Amino acid sequence: MKRAVFGAPSGGVPPTAGVPPPTPGEAEWIASHRKWLGSWRRGALTALPLAYLTYVFISVAENSRGAGQVAGYAVLAAFAACWLAAPLVLTYQTSSRRFWTYFAVLLALSVAELPFARAAGFVAFIFLTMLSVGRLGRWSLPLVVAFSLTALIVPTTIPSWHVSLGNSFDDVTPVAIPVVAITMFAVVQVMRGNQALADARAELAQLAAENERIRIARDLHDLLGHSLTTITVKAGLARRLGATDPARALSQITEVEELCRQALADVRTAVSGYRDVTLAGELARGRELLRASGIAADLPTATDVVDPEHQELFGWTVREGLTNVVRHARARSCAVRLSASAIEIVDDGVGEPMLSSGTPLGNGLSGLRERVAAVGGSVDAGPMRAGGWALRVTLTPDGGR
């Protein structure tokens, strides 16, 4: 079983009951987007604790002079650089040897800082606590206790530092170390749970895709195997009878034509099942896609306000509109509004225009416009005055009949 380490990937979207797994294209996009978000978040979370080193910086200025001060700043800068590089060096599958080597380097820099920053130098032990808890979990307790006691007792044993036990208790570091350890442990547990959910989601998508391939192969074999065999036999018989018995040959060709029509109808029926689109299903899938992309979703949970005859077309609209939002809009939120004969998708992003005069249409929106035009409706898309983008499909009351 893998253990979480510093920089372990976070995030993940749990499977939702009733929501179909993403298509291979959606799964690939979600995985790449989640990877980018994870790297950005890890970088931000890594840099944030460096604010604690300001306390060390000030202490070096107060307790060191000349070359000692320069050395103190140099050691502090080296420690900060090593900490920022930790997500690159300590990946999710880092070996124990590599981890403890890097841990020893940071520990050595922490100890080297003490003569220049004095008691404030123990702030570096907070960073070592985060590393050890992230790697060892609850087994890091001895290290956490050792760090806390060291930060509490050692300053009182060095006379030149003029730190009493009472002053050492007043220092935030001995208290901050166990508090950070508890917080880090809780964060690691959440990250492990989210990673397990993300792995389960990825496995579900993979299994669903494999099952779909097997189903398509099975259905096509069942539909076409017998028909094509019969067609081949009858066509061969018609060829042989052509010269000697034209009437029977014509009869065989007629039967071949009927078999071809029936096979084509069966294939169309099967394929229509694979391409089935419903408004409720696309809203559920879109909510999952927006959530995985970090976009706040305001999507309706009920679709009974929409006329049944418009449900499939509005499902296509949701699919195309939300796909464009996550690909182009760079939005923070997205909303879908429904009425009996209209649907509107709005976001607060800054995506490139997708449908306007003089602007080439993408294949998806071109197809959507054709679908809407076929039933006498209209498609409007463009920037809003308040910012963001809106896509609206409006149908005539009689549905183009």
CB 364 within 8 A of CB 323: yes
Q: How many CB atoms lie within 10 A of CB 91?
A: 15
Q: How many CA atoms lie within 13 A of 115 on its CB side?
A: 11
Q: What is the pLDDT of residue 264?
A: 82
Q: Which of 252, 275, 298 is the last residue of a domain?
A: 275
Distance of CA 15 to CAs 40, 103, 201, Å? 24, 37, 6
pLDDT at 70: 93
Q: 364 with 258, same domain?
A: no
The predicted pLDDT at position 272 comes to 64
pLDDT of amino acid 2: 41
> Residue 309 has what pLDDT?
85
- Specify if 400 maps to a domain: no
Question: Structurally, how many domains does the chain consist of?
Answer: 2
Sheet with 296-298: strands ordered across: 296-298, 333-338, 342-347, 389-394, 378-383
State the residue range of the domain holding 375. 279-394
Q: Which amino acid is at 307?
A: D
Q: Which residues of 249-273 are buried (b: 16+ CB within 10 A; e: fewer)?
A: beebbebbeebeeebeebeeebeee
Residue 351 belongs to domain with CATH number = 3.30.565.10
User: Does residue 79 lie in a domain region?
Assistant: yes
Judgement on whether residues 239 and 359 belong to the same structural domain of the protein = no
Do 260 and 313 have their domain in common?
no
Residue 107, domain member (yes or no): yes
Helix (H, G, I), strand (E, B) or coil at 334: strand
* 275, 309, 337 - which closes a domain: 275
Q: Return the pLDDT at 77.
A: 94
User: In the chain, which stretches have pLDDT less than 70?
Assistant: 1-43, 92, 169-170, 215, 218-219, 221-223, 225-226, 269-276, 292, 351-364, 397-401
Query: How many angstroms separate the CA atoms of 335 and 4, rounded?
Result: 36
- Cβ neighbours of residue 182 under 8 Å, at least 6 residues apart? none
pTM: 0.45
